[in-house]
Structures are given as C-alpha cells and as structure tokens.
Amino acid sequence: MQNRNRDNAPALINTTVPAMSSSFDRLLHAKRRSAADVAADVKSGERLDYGFGLSQPDAFDAALAQRKTDLRDVIVRGALSVRPRQVIEQDPEQRHFINENWHFSAYDRKKSEAGLVSYVPFNFGEAPAIYRRHLSVDLVVLKTTPMDRHGYFNFGISNTYSRAICDVAKRIVVETCPAMPVIHGVENVVHISEVDAVIEGPDVALAEVPGAPIGDVDRQVADFILREIGDGACLQIGIGGMPNAVCSAIAESKLHDLGVHTEMFVDGMVDLAERGKLSGRHKQSHPGKIVFTFSLGSKRTYDFIDGNEICLSLPVDLTNLPQQVALNRNVVSINNCMQVDLSGQVASESNGHRHVSGTGGQLQFVRGAYMSEGGKSFMCLSSRYMKGSRPASRIVVGLEPGTVVTTPRTDVMYVVTEFGIANLKGKSVSERARAIIGLAHPDDRDALYDAAGRSGLLGRRFI
C-alpha cells in the first residue's frame, strides 16, 4: 500500500489514473467486496475511522459488529452519529471495540453517559492537520456516492476531513450510497485507483435531522441580532432554534446581497437562497458561492445542494480556520451556547463533567469574525432552562466545576438573550457582570447581583 501522507501539504487529486472509463469499470469490478469480506480483514488492535456524520458506514458497521468475538481493542473513531452504531450496540460491555468521537450527537451523548464513547477534544478546523500530523489509521470506511464516469467517489454531504483521513490511511474502503448528493468542492473525492475495496451499500434514504422548532424566545433573540446585520454581510449560522429563527427573520427582512461562509449548511439557508437573499457578490473568498463543509437536515436541503453549482463544499480547514473566515469582510457568526458566566466565559459543550456536544467550530468562527473587517460574533441563549421541574438561570456567577469553557471571555463579543444584547469587548469585569446580569431573567437578577457583589466581581463601588 502506498504511503498517502503528503507531509502536511493539502491533498491533491491523484492524476496517475487510467485514461478510459472502461478501465475504471474494470477496477470497480475487481474491487467490489461484501461488507462481511471487508470486515473479515480487520485485526485486533487496529485503528478504524468512520468519518463524520452522514459519511459513517452502515453495512460495514453491522458486519464488523458481527465479528466482535474474534476481535479485541479495535479503536473505532467517528463523529456526530446519525444512526445507532452497531459496534456500540452489539458490544455493551466494550470488550471488543473502543469508541472515540470528535463531536456528539444526541445518540453519542447517551452512549457517552453509559461509558461507551470517549470524547476527543479538538477545534474542528484543525482536523485535517491533526490527521496528517498526529494520527495513524489502519482502515477508513466512508459512505460516498457511487463512482462517476471519471472514476471518482464524491464525499457528498460531509467533506470535513475525509480527504485527510484517506491521505494517512493504510487501507481505504468506500461504502456507496445512491442517495448521497454529489457536491461540487475541493478535496471532496477519492479515486478508484486509491481505493482498496468498494462495498455497494443499500439504496436507502439519508438520515434526516429536523430543525429545532422556533419559539417566542428564539424570535426575540433573532430580533436583537437582526438589527446588527447589514446588507452584504457574510453569514455563519450554527444549529438550533435560535440560529433557525435568525434565518427566518432574515428571510422576512429587507436585507439583501448576503453571503455564506459557514461550517454547516442548515435548512434555513435554503429559505434564504430561495428568497433571493444570497447573492454572495460582496464576498472576498469564493464570491457568489455558498461555502460550507458539511450539511445535516431535511431531504429538502439535501436536494438543494445536490449538484448545485452555487454550493461549494470545502475541507473544514478552509472553512473554519480563523484566517480563512477573515478573508471575508463583515462576517456575522451566530452560535448557540448553554451558559455564560458573569465574566463572559461561554460554555457550549458540557454541563459539569457531563459532555453534551463538542467544541466544533465555535471558537474559530468567533475569532475569525473578529479578525474580519467589520465582523461580529453573537452568542445566543435563553435566559432560563428547566432543571427538572424548576426553572434555572443560564446566566451564572461562575461555571460549575467540570464545565468546559468553549469560548474564553477574552474572545466573546456579543451575548444575546430574549432580554437584550450586550457587547463585552473593551468592558472591565465589573462592567461585564452588570451588563450580563441585565440579560438574565428579571426574577434572577437580584440573586445574581448579590452573588456577584460577594464574589468581588462588581468592585467596591457597586456593592
């Protein structure tokens, strides 16, 4: 097997390929194997990679789980699982498989709480370099489109770091899926000449993740943010009810000539495109294109991006690294978070030691937006949540021990709740504390003010 590590250089398309489609067809015929046959080659102690989100294989996963009694200490790495992983379901004592995960879905979180999945911390945009510089992979199995007439398998809906895994993997296997959209992009394919085996997966629909419903609190938050967005802005919008509400508000607004340079293509962006809001003409990076690294949502979204030439799928280092974000002017970054403390620290991925999601690209887009000329970043949260049967404040004096700081207070710009918006840049600790208390639910403000005074956050003048 050739060494695909390119000394950290960007992965290039393999140009030493057969010249005629008939040659590609012969290679495809020679490399077709069943999922069981591919799973039979896995050895104890090997490191396997399933890729990200909708790239994770299903037929191979089931076949590998059937071999569990033959195997020990097989590491299986993945991220954002959209269907149950059989290497987890069929090995509840984790005697045979060790499951690692870069970013939790609701399913992954549940399995982590059962002790079956271990989170791997990272900034999403660093993933390609992490693979090329630090990780070894014995076998990667990725769900892709069927081979095209040029001999390429398209990574489809999850470009992310797929090419980087292929560059370092000792063996590459693709599990084809006829329902996978073909997405135009960069580093978004692997060639039949590089592939060791092709599993023809079943023709089943891709998993859909419906958008979170939009409530009154979400609409109030969106209204505050909408006032800060100008014509020609370049948008990064995260997942959740509040970002969805911002998309909805923009769609109904008079804003125009907006661009998109984002991590995740969400359902609300289809509305913006169909309303004629996304010309992208003022973007400096890939003008006119809707740029993203993966998508997860409804079939309507999958159909929109399939073969759509205005959509451009890039590897995650080209979407998320701050210097790439900042190539565009007037970047607007909008993300959800779970808690904010009175100094401005933002927690978006854990509640104490209970891990909920992941760092993802939040911090990198916050930094990239601030580096952008005219850029702004927004941290959105409701002022309260239900803790059991009682409401609890998301605005806290200090974060609970074990809670991970996703975005440091030094990086936070705007914080937004249904009760207002505050820009923390340039504010002292006491000024921040007073501004953030003003975003809390009115019934929580007195207790926060008293606790802040006792903690010395307000200074002597304000006690």
Catalytically annotated residues: 263
Distance CA 314, CA 18 (A): 26
Cα separations in angstroms, 283 against 172, 232, 311: 36, 8, 14
Q: Give me the amino acid identity at 70.
A: D
Distance CA 359, CA 296 (A): 17
CB 226 within 8 A of CB 246: yes
What pairing do the DSSP bridges indicate for beta strands 414-417 and 420-423?
A: antiparallel
Residue with token string 């850029």:
375
Tokens (6 digits) for 394: 């998301």
CB 402 within 8 A of CB 206: no
Q: How many CA atoms lie within 13 A of 144 on its CB side?
A: 28
CB 129 within 8 A of CB 158: no
Tokens (6 digits) for 161: 């770091």
Distance CA 82, CA 84 (A): 7
φ, ψ of residue 383 to 5 degrees: the values are -70, -25
Distance CA 221, CA 422 (A): 12
In 325-458, beta strands by DSSP E: 331-336, 339-341, 346-347, 350-351, 354-355, 376-380, 384-387, 390-393, 395-396, 414-417, 420-423
Distance CA 247, CA 226 (A): 10
Measured between alpha carbons, how far apart are the two ends of the chain, in Å? 69
CA pseudo-torsion sign 78, 83, 88, 91: negative
CB 171 within 8 A of CB 196: yes
Distance CA 57, CA 131 (A): 19
CB 159 within 8 A of CB 183: yes
Buried b (16+ CB within 10 A) or exposed e, 339-376: bbbbbbbbbbbbbeeebbbbbbbbbbbbbbbbebeebb
